[in-house]
Structure 1
Amino acid sequence: MKNSTQIKGLPIISISNGQQEGKVQSLIINPEKGTVDFLTIEQEEWQDNNFAIPFKKVVGVGEYAVTIENAHAIMDLNEIPIASELVNKKIGLIDANVITRKGELIGKVSEFVVDDENGGAITALQANVKNKEVLIDAEFVLTYGKDIIVVKEETAASLRELGAKEEASTLDTAEETEELLEELSAPAINHAEEAERLQALKEKQVELLLNKKVVNDIYTNEGQLLLTKGTVLTLADIENAQLAGPSVVIDLSMNVEA
């Protein structure tokens, strides 16, 4: 397990040649899965930093460095539209307010914990609650948003204070919550523009994947075989992957011939 701050800034070392490929700049979070899907790379020689490593391609995260097999693990985010979409969502977690589904304010996120040996799963949030640092287990999280994390009602009774035994906590913050929600209330979504954006994203995915050859079997999130190794992607294949969900499209994008 690693805190996000323990990962940011680490050198990225290629095992095949022992060279440093850059440093970890940021962690790209998939709010639907509650995972860190990519590590973006800071490299002084690159004019822009649109490169990242899929977390599934990371060999290890140590105290000194993040290791990868070779430089082929590094990908251009512009070539993976779904990854670019995750970047644009800007889910950073740090400083996000934690509220229950009924609108009560729990606290503010100060850190989060990543299972670096299990696909980058977020296992817990560290939050500041009435000037105390507590842990919120990820199983209580309902929604990871840009500014607000929504959790289950029973979360308050399950908070674990750092450095102390688990203890119950009851919070009466109705007035603070009302002010918070007024401050963070967002304008209504323009559904037409959103639909147009999603359609453009799907068309870009088709453009990048059509007629590419699959190099590994692709499975749905439920474990069902969707595409076999060696398949040359048709429009129907790509549409089926899109229907299976964003994480499946990411997996497919990382398993086709260049």
Structure 2
Amino acid sequence: MKKSREIVELPIINITDGEEMGTVKSLIINPEKGTVDFLVIQHEEWEVSVKAIPFKKVVGVGEYAVTVDNESAIIDLNEIPIANNLMNKKVKIIGTRVMTRKGQLLGQIDEYYVNDDNGNIEAIHLDMKDHTEMVHRDAVVTYGEKMIIVNENIENYYITEEEEPTAPVLQEVPSVLNQEEEQASEQLNDLQKKQLELLEGKKVVKDITNQNGEQIIQAGTILSQDEIQRVQSEGPSVIVDVTMNVAE
């Protein structure tokens, strides 16, 4: 598990060639899943377009570098609508205020912790008026651009930095969506419809796996609507992988 600040500014190394491809400029958050889906790359030769690496393509996040297999891990965000949409949501987490579902303002987040194997946001570090606490991911109801909503019984989700962030056994609470999030959800639905139109009938040229490494689409498959919808349900990084590996 890494602090977000431990990932930003790390060099990105292509382990096939042993070359540095830039540094991590920022992390792109998926607010619906509470994950880091992409690492934005800082490179002096790429100022015109925004390049990123899907977290799924990351081999490792070490103390000194982020490693990927080869240059094919890099994508142009402007060419992947769903990735660009996530970036435009501008969910930053650090510095965002935290409020309970019933409207009590608790403080703001000064750090968050990322599972360096799968990109899950495992915990947030909450700076309150008189103390700070590390809070398990299951306390979070909604990640918004300007506000993060959490459960009222926040103290039940406190963990120490030495503990592994295991989930408390509590009743699930339905997500709270404000107007901006509802609009974002509608935009996402439009993007998914466009993906259906773009991908239906195309041939997958390599095996596609989910974030757990399980094969979900076999190479040579001609994509149907059901298969595309199944891939969409796996998250942005998987649909990006499919988009990059299809042929007419």
Does TM, scored on the shorter chain, surpass 0.5? yes
Mapped contact 1:212–1:232 kept (Cα < 8 A): yes
How far is the alpha carbon of 1:191 from its aligned partner? Answer: 7.8
CA distance, structure 2, for counterparts of residue 28 and residue 190 of structure 1: 16
Alignment of 1:61-210 (within 5 A): 61-117=61-117, 119-160=118-159, 195=186, 197-198=187-188, 200-206=190-196, 208-210=198-200
Shift of 1:63: 1.4
Whether 1:216 aligns to 2:215 is no
**CA distance in structure 2 between the partners assigned to 1:51 and 1:157 by the alignment:** 40
2:208–2:241 Cα contact (<8 Å) kept: no
Q: Mark the CA change 1:204 to 1:35 in structure 2 (over 3 Å): closer, same or farther.
A: same
Bigger CA radius of gyration: 1
Q: Which piece of structure 1 moves more, 44-53 or 68-77?
A: 44-53
Structure 2 contact 209–216 (Cα < 8 Å) conserved = yes
CA contact (8 A) 2:60 2:68 kept: yes
| Count of equivalent residues | 228
- Residue 111 (structure 1) shift: 0.6
Q: Which residue of 1 aligns with 2:3?
A: 3
Separation (CA, whole Å) in 2 of partners of 1:253 and 1:103 = 37
The residue aligned with 2:233 is 245
RMSD: 3.0
Q: What letter is aligned with 1:106?
A: L
Provide, for residues 83-128 of structure 1, a one-character-per-residue CA deviation record: whole Å limited to 9, x for no partner.
11111111110111111111111210011000102x1111110111
| Contact residue 206 and residue 235 of structure 1 kept, 8 A | yes
For residues 231-256 of structure 1, what are the alpha-carbon distances to aligned partners after superposition, in whole Å with 9 as ceiling and x for unaligned? 12245643x347x5371x54133032
- For 2:6 and 2:183, locate their aligned partners in 1 and report how far apart those are by CA, in whole Å: 41
Identity of aligned residues (%): 43
Q: 1:31 matched to which residue of 2?
A: 31
Q: The residue matched to 2:25 in structure 1 has which SS?
A: strand
Gapped regions of structure 2 (runs ≥ 5): 163-177
Give 1:149 deviation, angstroms: 1.1
1:87 aligns to what SS in structure 2?
helix
The equivalent position to 1:254 in structure 2, one of 213, 228, 241, is 241
Tell me the alpha carbon deviations over residues 147-205 of structure 1, each in whole angstroms, 9 at most, x when there is no partner.
Answer: 11111121135435779xxxxxxxxxxxxxxxxxxxxxx8x56989975x456523542
Conserved? CA contact 1:111–1:127, under 8 Å: yes
TM-score, structure 1 as length reference: 0.76
TM norm structure 2: 0.79
The answer to whether the 8 Å contact 2:55/2:237 transfers is no
- Determine if contact 1:80/1:205 at 8 Å carries over to the other structure: no
